[in-house]
Structure 1
């Protein structure tokens, strides 16, 4: 019971390593006479040595040393530079150093002071009489630069301890020791060990930046010199102690107590049965006490004391590999190096071994030492006492790791590593270059989904991006250079020649193993998409210029490799096809600046026999310039289709919905419209086609099938309705007989899957984070048995509509400057190339002539089509109404050259705006404007007198066609539903 409960609450927040170790030591002032300083540097290279030491340990920001030997130099330096630490080296000759130190402390009380002294008889004697209370620590200099690194790290750890423990639960190792000589030799070893270990565990990070940051989560080391100091610290940070190393003899209650260390062990062991303790002593008799309190013992007199100590720490403090042991014989039964290995092996660890380790908190300690705080905290609470069920423990550990790894992988562009890429990996890159436009968009959405937990709150839906690996742009450069392809690519050769040259070329060999690792994990068809630098760049609409290929999944990975290589080369080649070059010229980009990254992505969908396709594909736009009914422009619009998204891109009949009004779908509002305006065909990937006919057409292996085929596949469960020809009604759902209509009714109106809500979130967050309207491509797979589904975000890009850049307020344009004004219009943008208007004469107009008028308009429209020109169409009533008493019964082909269609009411013939519902699909896909004007009611302007005064190009009994020399500029503001047609200049 506990496990179910606990696991559901398991929401891991990522550790922000950025906020750790924020206080640093950058500048160190060294007060020493020239000879001692020279001895210290051994030949004047202290900065270089420290730098090398830092580099070896992958530490950043090595500090700078400034050396002074007289009081006046000291003040001069302190006045000019901010120092974070002062190290004093008292010489044998005079006591200047202590004097200087004291005066520094008086003036700069916040700067920590440290004494570093070569231990010789003279100095020791002198130091006995000095007051050392102003110094943080006294160290004994044995000529080892490591000690300087330790001093700096020790003081940094002290400065950051409280904050870092509170922030994420960083662990602490406590050393209790009052012998200066002793801690001066132990600390460098301890730090070296911990820093090396943290270099190791940082490899769990997914990229170099994360690796450096993770090092900040390493355990802190704290030095205490009395029993009271040690207990205060333990009381404060009891929950965050990784382990304690203590001497036996040191001050307790103000006097040196030979049993102080043993009393400390007793007190701590009574509170925590599992914390690792180490007793080190030069008196071997104390070993007995170590045994009594289950502590390890280190003999200070041993020649290899440092090695012994390191081994014990490594074994007991959770560092290094996790070794599962047999509790009786202590033999190793299994060893794991990282989280993935632990996850793979957890169910096969022998029962008694696992019991031994979990009952002693070993797993959480190992995670702590590796700076994996979220799962460590979580597993630490689930003790053996509370659960007492070994299989539940296995399950919980497994779930915790999976959840943590998923969380770590999401929203991060990892570096692809063959041995680490598995089903919890989300997004990785091969190469060092750019991810290109689509790649960046994907990384951005992945991160967005991770940050907004609302995406995680659906009972029966998950929101993710498909598994993705990006080949960065540097691989493209390498491919082009090593195969010498620029010559043919930039020539005037035709597309076919270019593609053939690219297919003959060779991709870098090292990619083969990476691709195999990818196939092993994905095990589904793969989409190979272009992600160029210019594509989807914020201000340039490059979408759809380059190719996207799909390849089926095959058991034979060499065949699959061949198809994949061809597809990658095909995408590379498409940069240099004729259309791309022409497009580059048109947008004044230089083709050799275009670099191509390639996205390899699992294709979203389900396999039905030899076909593969998703239940739903769609494109959402966060701004809708054709809102109808009570929709608003800001609520956005979504086009949905069954099958692969290519159908939408190719302009197929999709279902248009607004995610905020899923119950009001125009296309399914009337039976006649539903039968005419819903999807009849769909695209699926042909799994039998293994790409031997690889061609310029990136859809060469896609099947375009009638919807009936999807019904035979059983793929329409929640997305179709059935037309019943006997009762002449459409029923939501699948029933025998009757034509199936793709209405998505169960998803939209009956909440089988929370598609509208997910779309609202995606549009809202996408738009607010990109700070501009966005277009999002997505796909959904539904599982009819389980009533669940997965929503995959495939792409996000800014909505760039060349026509759409309209910044002016149309209300400010005076009525005398316009020919037409509508306060209720659909469409957005500016048109500057229309010279012609066809309008229905109003004198003597009666609705009985409407069919004749429709026929006359059709004839004129044909001439416009032949000349490739456009016009504005104005007339009374509802255009396209099937009832000719309500308006002129034209069909779309009869008026297809019109770019603006106006419904103008007359005093004796007023209409409610139909908002062009009959042609809705065509209006939206061709960007046609639709104006409603009732000027006799002061709703808008229609300046017919000006038109009547113009000579006619052609005139019939009912309609007139006039042409202006200068263009009629059209401006439409889709957000405010306003439109004007300006009078020509």
Structure 2
């Protein structure tokens, strides 16, 4: 097969916003009718009820309301007081017929749409010949069929919206050319009935109910033309949007245009030309060889002319004319299913119901059938009739004349559908449908409840990517969210109630007992098929993540409180199903674990108000033997509280690591980089720093761990590995540098011998992958859309060919206290400060704290005691929670580190009553401050200050002697709790990273 031409290979699909279509509507209808017709409409016809039912059945919105009057005087009163959009004048009486009423209305209200309904008789026919009908929108034949009213409303709405919807949305039109009032009054209700039902059918291509309703606005419009000139002008103006033409043969030609295919001598002014339809259809065929042209006539000899010119023909005399027309619309205008036929026998080869079915079967269709349909542009027309305009427009140009290769047409159609489905899925929360969810699907929900905080954040990120095409234009990079399905909060509610779990969940039972009770409970069997479809679509391990109502909320984020489990990809889908069910129940149970309850107490939230959604998400990474992990994980913050050198606070900061992101969240050693200054990495500035302060271990998912041992600790199947293991996996290409001890230097790249340093040199300094640019875009548009600083989690897979896939995993706001300080903290002398930090995190003033809890870091301090210190602090913290008061916490190293040698390994609930946390640097124990973890997210969420002080380096002030002089409220082997007689004054300037704590006696 030849190469697909570049212009067809790199096409760009622009999405259609259906919400902007059909904006102009008929809302209020005034019917002027004599008492008999009024009765027939109201009681026998029940017009309003029928119209309303018709709208509801078809899924249409905004059914019009009807007002009925009997006289011109009554009509004028209504028109003077009510905003009427359409007046329908029905037969009056001998002295006052519908035409008189309509003319009277138009004289006083010339801008209102006005339609005349009249029964047909010889008298009426003669009168119409002498009547000036141009002042009315339309005249219809009225035989008591209320369906005609719906057609009139839709016809006028189509005309009102035609220009905008065709130009802006690519909507298609069908031109009906007919001057017989009787005939178009009969055919229009059938035509609209079929079109509206077609629109209801193709709305199933949408991803949720709202989108389905919106898609129906993309149905084909009907244009009624009554002369040759009217039809030709309409075709000329909108020929690119013409789905087909249905034309009578005999109708008026008022004047001859230059492009008409007959001589000037043939002109028949005002008379009906017996060949007008034939001439019109011939002229249109010269312009477009593919558009379906249908001739309808009551003169049977016209069938021969139609067939001679390869036009379709409908006999007006046929008793089944509506059936014949419907069949032609299905066969030639793309309505209904796409039926691939054998070109010789015309028998059905394959029937396609949806876009996904076409995608799945395009390579299975026999060549001769494929050639038959492609050479007639049938695929493009079918897509246009289903309102899939971007793909239809693109394929309309890929004609058989331009490309004589059936297989290449298949590939182009397949690629276009894939690209369209990807585009449509992006930024939309679809309702999960196991028949539609495949590897091209994106984000879907199961249930009708809330998505929870993380779920909303993911949907928001997906929409941010869709709204900003810059993400799609990065060379060698894709930017997306992982495939995601959210089990909404109503699934959680039903699970809790049906399994009667609240009693044990809200009790003081241990975490293990609560988890055991949840694991015994049953999830609905109806989810099994959905989970299997998700397994097939992802073909990867799955992360089961919490997404509670409170988590990552816009104003009070919870982060890292509930569990996240990961399960491996298994060939045995039933075993994978069992593990998935256990993980979901484990996440549900974590709402009620002891730490969660403590956290709820600290934040004044009520535990039984918390609702849990669960995110099922493809794990980003690659499989290396029995382990699975991404090349890069990271946390990006749009505010940098620790700017270094040329960095600015609003340029943000990222923490990068090899392997699963849990390593960063747990406080592991990461590489800190500002996306605007990727060439300046503090940890790589000195050899000693690089050796001591870069990543030495990483996390990976254990693909062998498939047992029944689900535990409250969600990391039970996470492996902690050494960097050399990633080297053996060939996972460090472009990410590592090599330290060669012979010359004590570090070189970018991987070389034989020497220790490997995780420097990310290829993506940060050498431009292998545009990571800094993606991070800058993510910050710019994420923070811009949230209107506040944000924290973003991400992961990235790199390929050997210098391409890669970047995944945005989560976004949450950094909720700062914007309390402005009216004092310059730098002007306060050191002597007035109990504590001073030039690397302070936080903003505002705190004046309600009198207590200080600090670690006794004398000569006997040893980092080996850090786990014991954590336990002692947790007990003291519980007392503060009980009393509802806060305290200042001071200790050495990195608070919350999972590595006890780097700091005190507390979890947030263990220190949740602290109002200020201080990292103290010791003479022989210096650990650089952590950043980008859930821990810091909680600090900023609750307005907790965080000071980094290293008095030994003259970086701040810590007057420990003042604390030592105070009597202890409580003292343990390693921790001391003291209380000041008056509250301390804590002040923090987040923009300048300055913070001070002053005692009442020390205030200036």
Q: Same fold (TM over 0.5)?
A: yes
Q: Is 1:434–2:450 an aligned residue pair?
A: yes
Q: Is the 8 A contact 1:806 1:973 kept in 2?
A: no
Q: Is 1:725–2:741 an aligned residue pair?
A: yes
Distance change (3 Å), C-alpha of 1:731 and 1:378 = same
The CA deviation at 1:670 is 1.1
Q: Is the 8 A contact 1:634 1:975 kept in 2?
A: no
Distance change (3 Å), C-alpha of 1:710 and 1:983 = same
Distance change (3 Å), C-alpha of 1:394 and 1:204 = same
What is the TM-score with the length of structure 1 in the denominator? 0.88
What is the aligned partner in structure 1 of residue 796 from structure 2?
780
Q: Is the 8 A contact 1:436 1:473 kept in 2?
A: yes
Query: Secondary structure of the residue that 2:154 maps to in structure 1?
Result: helix
Query: Secondary structure of the residue that 2:832 maps to in structure 1?
Result: strand
Query: Secondary structure of the residue that 2:824 maps to in structure 1?
Result: helix
Q: Is 1:296–2:312 an aligned residue pair?
A: yes
Q: Is the 8 A contact 2:950 2:956 kept in 1?
A: no
Distance change (3 Å), C-alpha of 1:319 and 1:487 = same
Query: Secondary structure of the residue that 2:26 maps to in structure 1?
Result: coil
Moved more, 25-34 or 706-715: 706-715
The CA deviation at 1:965 is 4.1
The CA deviation at 1:482 is 1.5
What is the aligned partner in structure 1 of residue 678 from structure 2?
662
The CA deviation at 1:489 is 1.6
Distance change (3 Å), C-alpha of 1:630 and 1:823 = farther
What is the aligned partner in structure 2 of residue 827 from structure 1?
841
1:891-930 residue pairs with structure 2 within 5 A?
Answer: 919-921=927-929, 928-930=946-948
The CA deviation at 1:607 is 0.6
The CA deviation at 1:521 is 1.2
Within the candidate set 607, 615, 620, 1:599 is matched to: 615
Q: Is the 8 A contact 1:545 1:580 kept in 2?
A: yes
What is the aligned partner in structure 1 of residue 575 from structure 2?
559
What is the aligned partner in structure 1 of residue 804 from structure 2?
789
The CA deviation at 1:298 is 0.9
Query: Secondary structure of the residue that 2:161 maps to in structure 1?
Result: helix
The CA deviation at 1:565 is 0.6
The CA deviation at 1:295 is 0.7
Q: Is the 8 A contact 1:817 1:983 kept in 2?
A: no
Tell me how far apart the structure 1 counterparts of residues 288 and 956 of structure 2 sit (CA, whole Å): 85
Distance change (3 Å), C-alpha of 1:149 and 1:598 = same
Within the candidate set 530, 548, 563, 1:514 is matched to: 530
What is the aligned partner in structure 2 of residue 38 from structure 1?
39
What is the aligned partner in structure 1 of residue 879 from structure 2?
none
Q: Is the 8 A contact 2:337 2:352 kept in 1?
A: yes
The CA deviation at 1:373 is 1.0
Tell me how far apart the structure 1 counterparts of residues 192 and 532 of structure 2 sit (CA, whole Å): 41
What is the aligned partner in structure 1 of residue 656 from structure 2?
640
Q: Is 1:264–2:280 an aligned residue pair?
A: yes
Deviation track 1:646-703 (CA, whole Å, cap 9, x = no partner) reads 1111111111111111111111211111111111221111111113111111111111
Q: Is the 8 A contact 2:660 2:700 kept in 1?
A: yes
What is the aligned partner in structure 2 of residue 578 from structure 1?
594
Tell me how far apart the structure 1 counterparts of residues 852 and 493 of structure 2 sit (CA, whole Å): 51
Q: Is the 8 A contact 2:825 2:995 kept in 1?
A: no
What is the aligned partner in structure 1 of residue 262 from structure 2?
none
Q: Is the 8 A contact 2:830 2:836 kept in 1?
A: no
Tell me how far apart the structure 1 counterparts of residues 222 and 88 of structure 2 sit (CA, whole Å): 20
1:143-154 residue pairs with structure 2 within 5 A?
Answer: 143-154=144-155
1:869-888 residue pairs with structure 2 within 5 A?
Answer: none
Q: Is the 8 A contact 1:205 1:211 kept in 2?
A: yes
Tell me how far apart the structure 2 counterparts of residues 400 and 585 of structure 1 sit (CA, whole Å): 53
1:747-826 residue pairs with structure 2 within 5 A?
Answer: 747-784=763-800, 786-800=801-815, 806-811=819-824, 815=828, 819-820=832-833, 825-826=839-840
What is the aligned partner in structure 1 of residue 635 from structure 2?
619
What is the aligned partner in structure 2 of residue 848 from structure 1?
none
Moved more, 353-362 or 94-103: 94-103
The CA deviation at 1:393 is 2.0
The CA deviation at 1:516 is 0.8
The CA deviation at 1:529 is 0.5
The CA deviation at 1:327 is 2.4
What is the aligned partner in structure 2 of residue 135 from structure 1?
136
Tell me how far apart the structure 2 counterparts of residues 861 and 707 of structure 1 sit (CA, whole Å): 24
Tell me how far apart the structure 2 counterparts of residues 353 and 69 of structure 1 sit (CA, whole Å): 60
The CA deviation at 1:871 is 8.4
Q: Is the 8 A contact 2:676 2:776 kept in 1?
A: yes
Distance change (3 Å), C-alpha of 1:923 and 1:806 = farther
Tell me how far apart the structure 2 counterparts of residues 900 and 488 of structure 1 sit (CA, whole Å): 38
The CA deviation at 1:326 is 2.6
What is the aligned partner in structure 2 of residue 169 from structure 1?
170
Moved more, 94-103 or 769-778: 94-103
Distance change (3 Å), C-alpha of 1:941 and 1:682 = closer
Query: Secondary structure of the residue that 2:362 maps to in structure 1?
Result: helix
What is the aligned partner in structure 1 of residue 975 from structure 2?
none
The CA deviation at 1:130 is 4.0
What is the TM-score with the length of structure 2 in the denominator? 0.87
Q: Is the 8 A contact 1:326 1:333 kept in 2?
A: yes
Q: Is the 8 A contact 2:667 2:930 kept in 1?
A: no
The CA deviation at 1:331 is 2.6
Deviation track 1:325-369 (CA, whole Å, cap 9, x = no partner) reads 232332322222211121122223233322222222211111111
The CA deviation at 1:271 is 2.0
Q: Is 1:739–2:744 an aligned residue pair?
A: no
Distance change (3 Å), C-alpha of 1:33 and 1:686 = same
Tell me how far apart the structure 2 counterparts of residues 942 and 52 of structure 1 sit (CA, whole Å): 77
Deviation track 1:140-198 (CA, whole Å, cap 9, x = no partner) reads 12222211110000010011111111112211101111111111110000001111111
Tell me how far apart the structure 2 counterparts of residues 862 and 346 of structure 1 sit (CA, whole Å): 67
Deviation track 1:555-589 (CA, whole Å, cap 9, x = no partner) reads 11111111111111111111111221222122111
What is the aligned partner in structure 2 of residue 846 from structure 1?
none
What is the aligned partner in structure 1 of residue 69 from structure 2?
68
Distance change (3 Å), C-alpha of 1:700 and 1:285 = same
Tell me how far apart the structure 2 counterparts of residues 565 and 953 of structure 1 sit (CA, whole Å): 54
Tell me how far apart the structure 1 counterparts of residues 707 and 615 of structure 2 sit (CA, whole Å): 19
Tell me how far apart the structure 1 counterparts of residues 931 and 447 of structure 2 sit (CA, whole Å): 44
Distance change (3 Å), C-alpha of 1:358 and 1:661 = same
Q: Is the 8 A contact 2:448 2:490 kept in 1?
A: yes
Tell me how far apart the structure 2 counterparts of residues 742 and 923 of structure 1 sit (CA, whole Å): 18
Tell me how far apart the structure 2 counterparts of residues 112 and 395 of structure 1 sit (CA, whole Å): 49
Tell me how far apart the structure 1 counterparts of residues 213 and 41 of structure 2 sit (CA, whole Å): 30
Distance change (3 Å), C-alpha of 1:665 and 1:280 = same
Task: Work out the number of aligned pairs and report it.
Answer: 930
Q: Is the 8 A contact 1:819 1:942 kept in 2?
A: no
Q: Is the 8 A contact 2:764 2:771 kept in 1?
A: yes
The CA deviation at 1:541 is 2.8
Tell me how far apart the structure 1 counterparts of residues 218 and 931 of structure 2 sit (CA, whole Å): 58
Query: Secondary structure of the residue that 1:524 maps to in structure 2?
Result: coil
Q: Is the 8 A contact 1:313 1:319 kept in 2?
A: yes
1:257-656 residue pairs with structure 2 within 5 A?
Answer: 257-656=273-672
Q: Is the 8 A contact 2:826 2:994 kept in 1?
A: no
Within the candidate set 672, 675, 678, 2:691 is matched to: 675
Distance change (3 Å), C-alpha of 1:112 and 1:562 = same
Distance change (3 Å), C-alpha of 1:892 and 1:518 = closer
The CA deviation at 1:470 is 0.6
Distance change (3 Å), C-alpha of 1:389 and 1:573 = same
Distance change (3 Å), C-alpha of 1:358 and 1:917 = farther
The CA deviation at 1:377 is 1.0
Q: Is the 8 A contact 1:532 1:594 kept in 2?
A: yes
